[in-house]
Amino acid sequence: MSVAPVDPSLDFESRATPGIRRLRPYDPGHDLVALRQRFGTDLLELGSNENPYGPSPAARDAMLGQLDALHRYPDPLGAGLKRALAATHGVDPAQILLGNGSHELLMQLAQVFAGAGDEVVFSQHGFAVFAIATRATGATARIVDALPRDAAMPLGHDLDAIADAITPATRLVYLANPNNPTGTWFGRVALEAFMTRVPTGVIVVMDEAYAEMADTDADCACALPQLATHPNLLLTRTFSKAYGLAGLRVGYLVGASGLVAVMERIRESFNVNGPALAACEAALGDTAHLQWASERNAEQRTALTDALRARGLAVLPSQTNFVLAEFGPGTAGIETALIERGVVLRPMGGYGLSEWLRITVGSADENRRLLAVLDEVLA
Ligand SMILES: *Cc1c(COP(=O)(O)O)cnc(C)c1O
């Protein structure tokens, strides 16, 4: 498969659009299927920011209730889930767009609003999908340096520099708050000040995949309260992280109803499946489970951060269910040694952070095992 085809009729690479030709697919980290085969239930998966507590039991029940209807197409509009989301966030159902994961929505935003000759602005060390979405459309990515190591929010988004990078060619700005893979965040006042600097013709996407896990006293800005004053601002959320439903692939966007209506034109028909619609609606109703899991996560995040720092590692502040830790020049060897012992973390070379590893905050038991194996490897 690795040999380049000699027959020009098989050269599909050169026939792809210019944006696609420059693209590399999203890198999910390790081959987890192979690792699961090798280690079985001993595999400790801390590489993909999944929720160790799982979804609400109500989500599972609601999903099972759909299994007799698998021969039917789902509700094409996802009206029930949209109504539930609208009630949760205090918006109109017409302001919500459902996606097969929020990854799909991030791609669709660039597809709808940017193209060749346009610019899309986002931060260095920003979520990997921003670059893929931008380049796929043929638009140019303007990547803004992250804040320096010694900043109050090391490697976080530099909102002033991002605003400075906006030009008449800018169509879209992607922000992630909190950001993956850094875990860093910015506050409400900073977002307000940023939005006053953004021309109304530029769409600002707030990827809030981890928003439900931020501490209430952490001042992690959410776009929701500012949607009414800034119709060019929107947010994306997901059921994959705090709700523990990564396997179902459901995300959503909240924004101006006019923006949603334009995006609906290219949404794939029935993009969210029936069992997923039912499960997410039920998960949304179980606020106690969400709160319980998020509190456990916050406790373990603090404990894990402290434990890693006690071992002399630099760990960035985080409001998510992962932490980014600096392992130095020996990172690749440490990572390999961890894999050999059945512990999966996420290497960060693709983000230009090859001396760091991203570690999902597991349950208390999982974190204990991680630290024990890490001590063995670092010794
Ligand atoms: C995990 C993640 C997403 C999305 O995930 P989906 O599973 O596609 O909903 C989006 N943005 C960030 C920053 C993430 O870390």
Every domain of the chain and the residues it spans: 25-49+288-378, 57-286
Mean per-residue pLDDT of the chain: 96
Q: Which band of pLDDT confidence, cut at 50, 70 and 90, is reported for residue 140?
A: very high
Chain centroid, CA 68 distance in Å: 32
With 90 as the cut, is the pLDDT of residue 22 above it? no
Q: Among 49, 127, 348, 359, say which to mutate for ligand 1: greatest number of ligand atoms within 8 Å of CB.
A: 127
Position 304 scores a pLDDT of 98
Cis-peptide, bond into residue 52, ω within 30° of zero:
no
Is the link from the previous residue into 181 a cis peptide, with omega within 30 of 0? yes
The Cα-based distances of 13 to 18, 115, 333 in angstroms read: 10, 20, 34
Query: Over the stretch 341-376, which tens digit does the pLDDT of each residue have?
Result: 999 999 999 999 999 999 999 999 999 999 999 999
Tell me the average pLDDT across 120-141: 97
74 closest CA partner among 105, 102, 98, 109? 98
Distance from the CA of 238 to the center of ligand 1, in angstroms?
7
Å from CA of 209 to ligand 1 middle: 5
Question: H helices within 255-286, ranges in order?
Answer: 257-264, 274-285
Q: Are 240 and 211 in contact (CB under 8 A)?
A: no
The pLDDT value given to residue 5: 61
Element (H, E) at 122: strand 119-123
Ligand 1 atom closest to Cα of 240?
7
Residue 270, judged by CB atoms within 10 A of its CB (0-12, 13-18, 19+), counts as middle
Rounded distance between C-alpha atoms, residue 315 and residue 166, angstroms: 31
pLDDT single digits (tens) 169-197? 999 999 999 999 999 999 999 999 999 99
Percent of the chain exceeding pLDDT 90 equals 93
Q: Is the pLDDT of residue 51 over 60?
A: yes
pLDDT at 25: 84
Domain 57-286 has CATH 3.60.20.10: no
**pTM tops 0.85:** yes
Whole-number pLDDT of residue 10: 86
Q: Does domain 25-49+288-378 have CATH number 3.90.1150.10?
A: yes
